[in-house]
Amino acid sequence: MNAMHEIDYQVHGDAMQYVEIELDPMEAAVAEAGGMMYMDDGIEMETIFGDGSQQTSGFLGALMGAGKRLLTGESLFMTIFQNRSPGKKRVAIGAPYPGKIIPVHLAEIGGELIAQKDSFLCAARGVSVGIAFNKKIGAGFFGGEGFIMQRLQGDGWAFLNAGGNIHERVLAPGQLLRVDTGCIVAFEPGVAYDIQYVGKIKSALLGGEGLFFATLRGPGKIWLQSLPLSRMANRIVAASRKGGREEGSALGGLGRLLDGDNS
């Protein structure tokens, strides 16, 4: 496995975070297209197919890397930021939605991480962003967000974005945890992942939790998020649909009076 670029970084902010990456001369970072917040003069930006990892070479290799990203629902393109100046320069990548940024040094966890397909933010150039299929076909049909996941490989820094707050936990061998599929951010490859039927259809239909949840079985470390992007989007859509009906209700009128809006 080739050595990654040894970048330095600092995470800023609270609810809406961004990561500032410091690049030595000729060092580079790779990020999702459209994630750049700012960059110093001397950094060159280039849009590429795939992830730009050192494991791919030539047009065919780049095309295969882009195809893997397409399967996970991501864009075909990523952006490389390379420091072409003689001194240290910085580039900042912003999180796409409220939450926390999780820095993971891949070398410290065996060089590999399985991540939710929309959680990857950026990484040192050389980190490979591929796909990870669950071996059990049931997870494919019923896992929803969790079936096709990303496989990050390398020995450098990778940065993930999680919605809401982060829960980190190390599962002991054989220890089982049941999780909403959207709440999974990432886990070490030693963790076994599967989809399980809730068992009580009444609870699933009336409780709003769905018919299936994910099971994570140790050993290994896991990262969970309290507010998945899909859950937040569903609440926003539901609220927008109710808004028009509630405007004409007695409660809606009372709210306008309290706000001083008599129009």
- What pLDDT score does 202 carry? 54
Is residue 236 domain-resident? yes
Q: Which helix (H) or strand (E) holds 138?
A: helix 137-142
Q: Binning pLDDT at 50, 70 and 90, where does residue 68 land?
A: low
d(CA 105, CA 154): 9
Q: Report whether pLDDT(246) > 80.
A: no
Q: Report whether pLDDT(70) > 80.
A: no
Is residue 257 domain-resident? no
- What pLDDT score does 227 carry? 87
| C-alpha torsion sign, points 31, 1, 145, 163 | negative
Domain tally, the chain: 1
Q: Report whether pLDDT(3) > 80.
A: no
pTM: 0.77
| CATH at 79 | 3.60.160.10
Q: Report whether pLDDT(263) > 80.
A: no
What tens digit of pLDDT does each residue of 149-208 get? 889 999 999 999 999 999 999 999 999 999 988 899 999 999 998 887 766 555 545 555
Is residue 261 domain-resident? no
Q: Please tell me whether the peptide bond between 219 and the residue prior to it is cis, using omega within 30 degrees of 0.
A: yes
Exposed (0-12), middle (13-18) or buried (19+): which is 11, by Cβ within 10 Å?
Answer: middle
3-state DSSP helix/strand/coil % of the chain, to nearest 5: 25, 40, 35
Structure tokens at 40: 């110093």
d(CA 110, CA 21): 23
Is residue 263 domain-resident? no
Residues 54-58: what's their mean pLDDT? Answer: 47
- What pLDDT score does 130 carry? 83
Q: Report whether pLDDT(101) > 80.
A: yes
Q: Binning pLDDT at 50, 70 and 90, where does residue 32 land?
A: confident
The residue ranking higher by pLDDT, 260 or 93, is: 93
Residues 12-33: what's their mean pLDDT? Answer: 93
- 85 Cβ contact list (under 8 Å, min separation 6): 25, 41, 42, 43
Domain that holds residue 72: 8-244
Is residue 82 domain-resident? yes
Is residue 250 domain-resident? no
Q: What is the rounded radius of gyration, in angstroms, for the C-alpha atoms of the chain? A: 21
Is residue 177 domain-resident? yes
Is residue 221 domain-resident? yes
The DSSP-derived string for 185-237 is EEE-TTSEEEEEE-S-HHHHHHHSS-SEEEEEESSEEEEEESS-HHHHHHHHH
The residue ranking higher by pLDDT, 185 or 69, is: 185
- What pLDDT score does 178 carry? 92
Q: Report whether pLDDT(69) > 60.
A: no
What tens digit of pLDDT does each residue of 105-144 get? 999 999 999 998 789 999 999 898 888 765 554 544 444 4
What percent of the chain lies above the pLDDT cut of 70?
67
Report angle CA 69, 131, 77 to the nearest 5 degrees.
Answer: 15
Least confident piece of the model among 14-18, 42-46, 213-217, 246-250: 246-250
